[in-house]
A and B are shown apart, each in its own frame.
Chain A
Amino acid sequence: DAKTTQPPSMDCAEGRAANLPCNHSTISGNEYVYWYRQIHSQGPQYIIHGLKNNETNEMASLIITEDRKSSTLILPHATLRDTAVYYCIVRPSSSGTYKYIFGTGTRLKVLA
């Protein structure tokens, strides 16, 4: 079973920030949080990952709470092309566990 919980769907107005939450209350100290998105008929696209510090790249920002039990992916200025299913995944950083366990994700719809 997935170790994360996400809302099944969200809407966001074009040009506004999209904030996608993820709950991972059972996360362990060596587990990273990864975010991916999947646009219809394509493979999942890597967005960002982090351990405990906030992270930012050209696509998004990742905010992880101090207790690491939840995180938020922020798309600062959502466009129609950001409409996709967003997956939050936790995975240990140590060797021995290599698989990602995907949940059902959040279906984000960006509205014009």
Chain B
Amino acid sequence: DAGVTQSPTHLIKTRGQQVTLRCSPKSGHDTVSWYQQALGQGPQFIFQYYEEEERQRGNFPDRFSGHQFPNYSSELNVNALLLGDSALYLCASSWTGANSPLHFGNGTRLTVT
């Protein structure tokens, strides 16, 4: 049973460029959340998708956008990259039940130069 898979594992981009990160949820899960983790910090919530709609959003600018597909997979898009966007981007999936714990992938390490 595959867990949460993310691609790519590492990415280097230049300031001002755009990036797309991808996530496949754990089998049986229908909800996908995205988190940003800066070095030495805990993960910060970006947004969550359910039924192809953004259900909740954290304190991130509109440069961060996402999408969920009918097969529950998801993409995170970041436009106009800044040096401060360099971080580990984590995808987590869960079943929509209220107490269902999140299961995280191993993330995409994004470096903006």
Contact = CB atoms under 8 A, between A and B. Distances in A.
Nearest to B40: A104
Contacts, number: 54
Contact of A95 (B4, B35, B43, B98): B98
Contact of A34 (B33, B101, B106): B101
A101 interface: yes
A105 B55 CA distance: 27
Interface residues of B, number: 24
Contacts of B92: 43-44
Given A42-B106, A46-B103, A102 B44 contact: yes
Interface residues of A, number: 24
Interface string A71-102: 00000000000000001000001110111111
B95 interface: no
Interface string A40-81: 011111100100000000000000000000000000000000
A43 B45 contact: no
A66 to B, nearest CB: 21
Nearest to A2: B42
B101 A49 contact: yes
Classify the interface of chain A: helix, strand, loop or mixed. Answer: loop
Contacts of A44: 43, 90, 92, 102, 104
A105 B42 contact: yes
Contacts of B4: 43
Nearest to A35: B101
Nearest to A99: B45
B42 A32 contact: no
Interface of A: 2, 32, 34, 36, 41-46, 49, 87, 93-95, 97-105
Given A45-B104, A95-B98, A98-B33, 14 more contacts: A34-B101, A36-B104, A41-B106, A43-B92, A43-B104, A43-B105, A44-B43, A44-B92, A44-B104, A98-B31, A98-B56, A99-B58, A100-B45, A104-B42
